[in-house]
């Protein structure tokens, strides 16, 4: 018997609306618990893209740690998983195997791959779109259900235009999942987030190359531990309604609104990628036609689906009342994630203004970010922000921009700006 | 070939029946190990529950498993905006009135060998899904009441069983997570036997005795409300209780109810008359027994119920209105319904 994880969807909302009010907010927490299927786990393929640009040699530990990390990821591949290693410069090359194809993991191929990786040298530039394009070609020939990639860079995407990268990402969307990582101090948080966001993965920066090994191993293990390769959020909304937004709110903010695929007039689906034993929160906001006091409507039906199979479902309701004691309550989770989304936006806009030399906007946005981080108890983000600004009063959001900021601290604040925390249990 | 019969109770069935008319057995299944006793054919009951087939919001005809319209999302009501019941010599009319969004009242009528019964539940508007509470309470109370009376339980015990069944159903009316303001409903039940009338109630729906000739009309119930409690003790409502709260319910059925044992009152009429069971949508306009009796024309039960509902509508129809008329002594009447 397969041991499928049990999915559970929980809806948090204040369903009571005052007369004439039309906006319905809800947070849906979807949790898959259990050990995962023993017989029905998806077949997996993995491509590792390792930056071999010239800067990787400086300091020399960067290249050697990247090689160790790649070896650790290769060791974490179970027998039978198809894989390849791509070396990335201003173009993309096969590091292992030599031909542009995936090979099946075994003791022999893992050893051969590690040997090939050990011989990589650093030279040349950075064009991540080319690396991703090669990964896409490699995955295209694979029948694996879950296609997972890791992209490691130590620098900015210097040798192609942002438009070129965007075009490749759009071609790769839905073809494979990709986690992106920056090592050292010269990568761009915005670029890593763009790649991870388009390819439904995670983004992070690792200033210390020594952290790479553990991170590569855990990314690989997480991919191998997924129970479902491609799940979607399915959303039914009533006639006459407008979907204001659908966002993933935890573990990181991701606006899904524009990713809708129409299923029918009332139903749309939003791809979520792979699921293992994990829990995620979604915040949705639907505008419905105004109802009379006493009326109750279903404002949304939120399901997690695997093809046509519904894994779990939650109902978002709207009930109109003239009892203001009911209608004025704000659901704490909705309020919390509204704040977390604003926090991410304030950090990103503040850092962009700072880069553009707009001190006033940067100070105001980053001040607001410090205030929101303080209010929600997001201590990790508060610590990152304190490396970019001098905090005068966190409670009021009074800050001064630091005169000297290590570049990597601003990028870390950027790449981690989307990471959220859950509301503290009350 | 022998005429088809129910494998459980051997009653005659037709080829097209899915369930046995006599005992309710699923005809696709073999007889149960312990044969199902056929329900006494003499006892029957009807209720007003059952939502409209068409969504009043958009005209849609498809509803999801949770009872919401597949098109516009509007929740399907548990009862109709207007409904009329007739069972033998009994009749009831329910109407949503002019001001409420939907009809949150529900009514049931029952006909036994020598007894007639009526139940009204009035969903508490301020609760979540009051129509679900009232309709499910009536649908649970009616069979419990009829079954108990069929087993020769005293009327008071049968009403107690009906209230317990109604309470259990009302408490579950909004599912396992009913929220902070769970569905709630009143409950009033009248059992009219050849030698006595017994009424039982939780909340502020009422039963009245309207004699044909002998004696005075009277209200048989005492509202479970703040003002009625003070009135019953013969004291004035303290000044610190605002007028707006004087009519507040103190007992009801539902998940958050703590005291759901019905009050009981039994009396033996000195002559023929009618037991009138109603929700506050009617008696708010004619609270006194004498004025209500005066307003109730002495015509056929259904016509009487229709006339009283119309009276309440003409007076403003501020609330849902439900009226049931039960004759005393109990008459089975023609069994058309």
The DSSP annotation for B93-159 comes to EEE-TTT-SS--EEEEEEE-SS-EEEEEEEB-TTSSSHHHHHHHHHHHHHHHHHHHHHTT--HHHHH
Among A381, A402, A373, which Cα is nearest to A390's?
A402
Task: Find the helix or strand (DSSP H, E) in which B29 lies.
Answer: none
Give the residue carrying structure tokens 């059952």.
B50
CA distance linking residue A327 with residue A24, whole number of Å: 11
A271 and A259 in contact (C-beta within 8 Å)? yes
Among A372, A388, A387, which Cα is nearest to A420's?
A372
Q: So what's the pLDDT on residue A5? A: 64
Whether A326 and chain B come into contact, CB under 8 Å, resolves to yes
Torsion sign, CA atoms A64, A68, A71, A77? negative
Mark B303-333 as b/e (b = at least 16 C-beta within 10 Å). ebbbebbebbbeeebebbbbbbbbbbebbbb
Residues in chain B: 337
Residue A174 has pLDDT above 80, yes or no: yes
CA distance linking residue A400 with residue A378, whole number of Å: 20
Task: Find the helix or strand (DSSP H, E) in which A36 lies.
Answer: none
**How high does pLDDT run on average in chain A?**
93
List Cα–Cα distances, A132 to A170, A181, A229, in angstroms.
Answer: 11, 14, 20
pTM given for the model: 0.82
Whether A297 and chain B come into contact, CB under 8 Å, resolves to yes
Q: Bridge partners of B265?
A: B199
Q: Which residues contact B244 (CB under 8 A, 6 or more apart)?
A: none
Is A132 in a helix, a strand, or coil?
A: helix
Q: So what's the pLDDT on residue A2? A: 45
Say which DSSP state B236 is in: P
Torsion sign, CA atoms B225, B226, B227, B233? positive
- Verify whether the Cβ–Cβ distance A240 to B75 is below 8 Å: no
Which chain A residue shows the shortest CA-CA distance from B131?
A294
B214 φ/ψ angles, rounded to the nearest 5 degrees: -70, 135
Segment A354-375 shows an average pLDDT of 96
- Verify whether the Cβ–Cβ distance B66 to A319 is below 8 Å: no
- Verify whether the Cβ–Cβ distance B71 to A238 is below 8 Å: yes
B270 φ/ψ angles, rounded to the nearest 5 degrees: -85, -10
- Taking contacts as CB-CB distances below 8 angstroms, the residues of chain B near A266 are 70-71
CA distance linking residue A283 with residue A292, whole number of Å: 25
Nearest chain A CA: its distance from B199 CA (Å): 31
Write out the two tokens for A249: 């709110």
Torsion sign, CA atoms A297, A299, A304, A306? positive
Q: So what's the pLDDT on residue A257? A: 96
B84 and B105 in contact (C-beta within 8 Å)? no
Write out the two tokens for B8: 């459980």
CA distance linking residue B174 with residue B186, whole number of Å: 16
Q: So what's the pLDDT on residue B32? A: 58
Residues in chain A: 426
Among B34, B35, B187, B199, which Cα is nearest to B108's?
B187
pLDDT band at A105 (very low <50, low <70, confident <90, very high): very high
- Taking contacts as CB-CB distances below 8 angstroms, the residues of chain A near B133 are none
Which chain B residue shows the shortest CA-CA distance from A12?
B179
- Verify whether the Cβ–Cβ distance B72 to A238 is below 8 Å: yes
CA distance linking residue A341 with residue A343, whole number of Å: 5
Q: So what's the pLDDT on residue B179? A: 73
- Averaged pLDDT in 10-residue chunks for chain B of 337 residues: 68 76 73 52 86 89 92 93 94 95 94 95 90 96 96 96 97 80 95 97 97 92 90 82 81 94 96 96 95 94 97 96 96 59
- Verify whether the Cβ–Cβ distance A326 to B181 is below 8 Å: yes
Mark B148-169 as b/e (b = at least 16 C-beta within 10 Å). bbbeeeebbebbbbbbbbbbbb
Nearest chain B CA: its distance from A266 CA (Å): 8
Which chain A residue shows the shortest CA-CA distance from B127?
A294
CA distance linking residue A300 with residue A302, whole number of Å: 6
CA distance linking residue A333 with residue A2, whole number of Å: 34
pLDDT band at A219 (very low <50, low <70, confident <90, very high): very high
CA distance linking residue A61 with residue A59, whole number of Å: 5
A127 and A90 in contact (C-beta within 8 Å)? yes
Nearest chain A CA: its distance from B248 CA (Å): 15
Segment A229-236 shows an average pLDDT of 94
Let me know if B114 is exposed, middle or buried by CB neighbors in 10 A (0-12, 13-18, 19+). Answer: middle
Which is more confident, A289 or B2?
A289
Q: So what's the pLDDT on residue A312? A: 92
B interface test, pick of A238, A242, A295 with most B CB neighbours within 10 Å: A238
B193 and B149 in contact (C-beta within 8 Å)? no
Q: Which residues contact A371 (CB under 8 A, 6 or more apart)?
A: A394, A395, A396, A397
- Taking contacts as CB-CB distances below 8 angstroms, the residues of chain B near A289 are 72
Alpha helices by DSSP H, listed for chain B, are 130-150, 155-171, 226-232, 243-246, 280-283, 289-295, 301-314
């Amino acid at each position: 018997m397969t041991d499928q994880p049990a999915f559970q969807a929980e809806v948090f909302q204040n369903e009571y609306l005052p007369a004439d009010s039309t906006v319905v907010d809800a947070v849906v927490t979807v949790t898959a618990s259990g050990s995962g299927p023993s017989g029905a786990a998806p077949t997996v393929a993995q491509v590792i893209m390792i930056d071999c640009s010239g800067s990787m040699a400086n300091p020399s530990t960067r290249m050697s740690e990247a090689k160790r990390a790649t070896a650790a990821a290769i060791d974490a591949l179970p027998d039978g998983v198809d894989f390849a290693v791509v070396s990335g410069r201003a173009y993309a090359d096969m590091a292992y195997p030599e031909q542009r194809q995936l090979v099946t993991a075994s003791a022999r191929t893992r050893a051969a791959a590690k040997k090939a990786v050990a011989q990589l040298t650093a030279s040349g530039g950075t064009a991540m779109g080319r690396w991703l394009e090669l990964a896409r070609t490699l995955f295209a020939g694979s029948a694996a259900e879950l296609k997972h990639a890791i992209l490691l860079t130590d620098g900015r995407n210097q040798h192609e235009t942002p438009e070129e990268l965007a075009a490749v990402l759009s071609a790769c969307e839905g073809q494979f999942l990709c986690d992106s990582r920056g090592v050292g101090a010269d990568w761009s948080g915005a670029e890593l987030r763009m790649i991870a966001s388009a390819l439904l993965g995670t983004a992070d920066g690792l200033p210390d190359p020594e952290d790479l090994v553990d991170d590569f191993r855990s990314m690989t293990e997480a991919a191998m531990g997924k129970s479902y390769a491609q799940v979607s959020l399915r959303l039914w909304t009533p006639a006459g309604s407008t979907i204001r937004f659908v966002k993933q709110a935890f573990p990181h903010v991701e606006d899904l609104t524009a990713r809708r695929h129409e299923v029918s007039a009332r139903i749309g689906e939003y791809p979520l990628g792979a699921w293992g034993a994990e829990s995620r929160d979604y915040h949705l906001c639907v505008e419905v036609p105004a109802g009379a006091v006493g009326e109750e409507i279903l404002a949304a039906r939120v399901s997690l689906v695997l093809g046509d199979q519904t894994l779990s479902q939650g109902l978002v309701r709207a009930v109109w009342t003239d009892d203001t004691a009911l209608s004025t309550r704000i659901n704490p989770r909705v309020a919390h994630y509204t704040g977390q989304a604003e926090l991410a936006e304030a950090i990103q806009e503040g850092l962009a203004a700072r880069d553009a030399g707009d001190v006033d906007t940067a100070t105001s946005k980053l001040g607001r970010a410090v205030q929101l981080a303080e209010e929600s108890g997001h201590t990790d983000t508060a610590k990152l922000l304190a490396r970019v600004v001098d905090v005068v009063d966190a409670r009021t959001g009074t800050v001064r921009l630091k005169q000297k900021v290590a570049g990597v601290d601003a990028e870390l604040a950027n790449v981690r700006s989307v990471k959220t925390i859950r509301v503290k249990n009350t | 070939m022998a005429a088809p019969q129910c494998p459980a109770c051997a009653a005659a069935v037709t080829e097209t029946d899915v369930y046995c008319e006599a005992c309710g057995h699923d005809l696709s299944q073999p007889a149960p190990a312990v044969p199902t006793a056929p329900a006494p054919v003499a006892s029957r009951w009807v209720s007003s529950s059952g939502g409209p087939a068409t969504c009043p919001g958009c005209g849609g005809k498809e509803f999801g498993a949770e009872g919401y319209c597949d098109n516009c999302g509007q929740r399907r009501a548990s009862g109709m905006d207007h409904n009329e019941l007739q069972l033998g010599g009994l009749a009831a009319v329910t109407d949503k009135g002019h001001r409420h969004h939907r009809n949150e009242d529900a009514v049931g009528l029952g006909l036994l060998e020598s007894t007639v019964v009526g139940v009204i539940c009035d969903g508490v508007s301020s609760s979540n899904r009051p129509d679900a509470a009232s309709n499910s309470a009536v649908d649970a109370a009616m069979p419990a009441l009829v079954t108990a009376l069929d087993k020769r339980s005293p009327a008071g015990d049968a009403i107690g069983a009906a209230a317990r069944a109604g309470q259990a159903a009302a408490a579950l009316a909004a599912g396992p997570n009913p929220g902070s303001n769970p569905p709630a409903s009143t409950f009033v039940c009248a059992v009219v036997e050849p030698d006595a009338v017994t009424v039982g109630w939780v909340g502020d729906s009422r039963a009245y005795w309207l004699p044909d000739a002998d004696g005075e009309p009277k209200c048989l119930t005492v509202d479970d409300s703040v003002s009625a409690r003070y009135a019953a003790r013969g004291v004035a409502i303290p000044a610190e209780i605002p007028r707006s709260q004087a009519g507040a319910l103190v007992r009801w059925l539902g998940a958050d109810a703590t005291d759901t044992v019905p009050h009981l009152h039994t009396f033996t009429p000195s002559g023929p008359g009618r037991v009138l069971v109603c929700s506050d949508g009617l008696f708010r306009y004619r609270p006194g027994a004498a004025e209500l009796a005066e307003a109730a024309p002495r015509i056929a039960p259904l016509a009487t119920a229709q006339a009283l509902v119309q009276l309440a509508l003409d007076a403003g129809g501020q609330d849902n209105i439900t009226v049931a008329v039960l004759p005393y002594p109990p008459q089975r009447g023609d069994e058309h319904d």
